[in-house]
Amino acid sequence: MKSFRSFLGAVASIALLSVLALAPSARAGDLSYTTLPQQNDSDLIIAHKLAAAPASNLYSNVSTATTTVCKSGSGVLERIIINTGASTSTVTVYDNTAGSGTKIATAATTAQGVLVYGCHFSTGLTIVTSSTADVTVVYR
C-alpha cells in the first residue's frame, strides 16, 4: 500500500511539473495586463493580455485648431495618433472638461507618429490643438 501511495504522489508531482512547464511563471509587470503583448511573452501571457483588453476603445479625430472635449468623467487616455503633422503644431491634453486645469501632456504634432500614454484621467479628457495637424485621440 505504501508503494502505491508513493506511486500516486510521484504521478501527481510529474503532472504538476508538466503543467508548470507549459505555463511559465508570470512576470510582475504582466499581472495587470495593461500592456500590449510583447514578442518575448509566452502564449499564456499573450492570451491573458488579449482577454483582459477592453471590448473597444473610443476615439475623436481633430484636424483644426480647436478645443475638443473627448470625454466627460473618468477614463484612460490610450494614445494619440498623429495622422498628418503640421509645422509648429502641438496638442495639449487636459484632465478636465475644458482646455485648462490639470495638464496631462503637451506634444509636438509636426510629424506622423503614435504617442502611447495609457494614463488615467478623472474629470474628463480635453485636447487643444494649435493648428491643422490631423490627430486621432484614442481613449476609453
pLDDT, tens only, 58-87: 999 999 999 999 999 999 999 999 999 999
Same domain, 65 and 40: no
- pLDDT score for 19: 37
Same domain, 79 and 105: yes
Same domain, 47 and 74: no
Q: Which domain holds residue 78?
A: 58-139
Same domain, 43 and 70: no
Same domain, 12 and 79: no
Last residue of a domain, one of 10, 25, 52: 52
Domain count of the fold of the chain: 2
- pLDDT score for 131: 92
- pLDDT score for 50: 63
Distances in Å between the alpha carbon of 35 and those of 10, 48, 79, 117?
39, 11, 12, 11
Rounded to an integer, what distance in angstroms lies between the CA atom of residue 37 and that of residue 50? 8
Same domain, 15 and 64: no
Residue 47 or 102, more confident: 102
For residue 31, give the amino acid letter. L
- pLDDT score for 37: 65
